[in-house]
Structure 1
């Protein structure tokens, strides 16, 4: 029996499952949405479920013809998801309880519909992990070395321009102003958003295989390089224009421009990888 036939015969069979997810995860989801609203590091979270649903919808022609054969292999995933939910709830560890939603959803699909449907939906489901904010301990552990690296490279570039500058850790010191490279300038915020967008681009426009992985992994150096450029430009402008270049609307606008540049580089790399695939196909 195909998935389309299952929905024709039992159009409301999934309603109890959705109701269960709604009851169990309502408070968890609402708090996560609050993080998306108030923490700029995770504002891309609003976009992730929409993209995930769109990815699944694009595969509907294949899904409707996919054979449905409930699989017991879904039970280990369901068990793992319940363990993560229980552990996260007992220890108040938000990342674990939120990630359990994705694991339980994957297990439910595999158990109810089988491996063929699961294979078609595994990427849209896994993509939902981009909406889950990282634990603050992990975020801080990643941001600290990134801030040091960005500060060092940006300071080196400023010195090459002949400007008097010193660096102490993540603090850049000019004779007229002192700049601190904070978490927002470490590159981690744009890295998470760029990784989510780069993964979406790879899934939509590149064939399965190493090209997708190249594009996704390339978002890391692109995001770090873009934020290094931002710190460099901010330092140079602060030397000539004063503290106003490092705060307020100008600084925020500069951040948006740099992120747009990073997106352009990611898109350009994706297009180049796509053309490389076409050229290889023509040669063959």
Structure 2
């Protein structure tokens, strides 16, 4: 009788009759043994992260330096820390995902590298930095799949806030904020008995002229408050709609708080001492107004809770 033997190694025992007798049939190995597979997997991971570190080392070094030196973007230190915290908090669910690698990840990685090349050649820091997030997204999709990427979409998208906005966009936002704060202060100060003559972003008072400079435009508190509003909404509120309202409300709250700061400075100059508008009091007022902004954000959240609680009672009734 003919025997079918597929994918096997035939080991012949010489002591037996060599005609049609097989002493042992051993299966042919079809994959790398477990320890070796784990070793090569770790080696591949180390090489991959080494290449990414080599590509983005100088870019990340400059980014951290900008966080440290530019007060407008000092909130960048907290962004990756919070993103890691969110993933760590959700680690039990993330570990349960079955890996479903997708070749679309390679396409995302190639696109990210093209963005990196354009950013480096064009000396555009924003493109160079944003390409890192695209590379991270591509790696996640390639190794873990789209389902896993959707599970960590929030912390990944939150990382965008750590990247300073381009200078051209920054300037387009800052100057209108300067004019808006000047207009609000010039409209309110006369109600407090302070004569005002506004010329652009300069408020002329009887005691001295106040210039609403870029640092006083409110862009710093706007970026920081927006980031904190997202963090606060994630930690304190489970409903997506309320989180969105809190994040969007941070814009008018920051503008209103900055206008209050300029109005307070005008009153300080007119009724106390013009020198108090500079130095310690000026810096302290910035911190004080930011605390007021946080209080306004908290008050808005409490108000939304009261309103939604009332609606629930009506529905239950």
TM-score with structure 2 setting the length: 0.82
Partner of 1:65: 96
What aligned pairs does 1:1-284 form with structure 2 within 5 A after superposition? 14-274=45-305, 283=316
Cα displacement (A) at 1:280: 5.1
| Bigger mean CA deviation after superposition, 206-215 or 267-276 | 267-276
Q: Closer, same or farther in 2 for the Cα pair 1:267/1:77, shift >3 Å?
A: farther
Cα displacement (A) at 1:149: 0.7
CA deviations 1:249-270 (Å, max 9, x no partner) are 1110110010111112223323
Partner of 2:32: none
Q: Closer, same or farther in 2 for the Cα pair 1:280/1:219, shift >3 Å?
A: same
1:167 counterpart SS class: strand
Cα distance in 2, alignment partners of residues 128 and 86 from structure 1: 21
- Check conservation: 1:222, 1:262, Cα contact below 8 A: yes
Q: Closer, same or farther in 2 for the Cα pair 1:196/1:160, shift >3 Å?
A: same
2:152 counterpart SS class: helix
State the number of aligned residues: 279
Cα distance in 2, alignment partners of residues 95 and 212 from structure 1: 27
Cα distance in 1, alignment partners of residues 261 and 67 from structure 2: 24
| Bigger mean CA deviation after superposition, 206-215 or 105-114 | 206-215
Between the two structures, name the one with larger relative contact order (CA 8 Å, sep ≥ 6): 1
Cα distance in 1, alignment partners of residues 307 and 136 from structure 2: 36
- Check conservation: 1:106, 1:122, Cα contact below 8 A: no
User: Unaligned regions of 5+ residues in structure 2, if any?
Assistant: 1-36
Cα distance in 1, alignment partners of residues 80 and 169 from structure 2: 23
Say which structure is richer in helix.
1
- Check conservation: 1:148, 1:170, Cα contact below 8 A: yes
2:94 counterpart SS class: helix
Cα displacement (A) at 1:12: 6.6
Cα distance in 2, alignment partners of residues 82 and 271 from structure 1: 45
Tell me the C-alpha RMSD between the 2 structures.
Answer: 2.3
1:14 counterpart SS class: helix
Cα displacement (A) at 1:205: 2.5
Cα displacement (A) at 1:11: 6.1
Q: Closer, same or farther in 2 for the Cα pair 1:270/1:79, shift >3 Å?
A: farther
TM-score with structure 1 setting the length: 0.91
Q: Which runs of 4+ in 1 moved over 4 A?
A: 9-13, 274-282
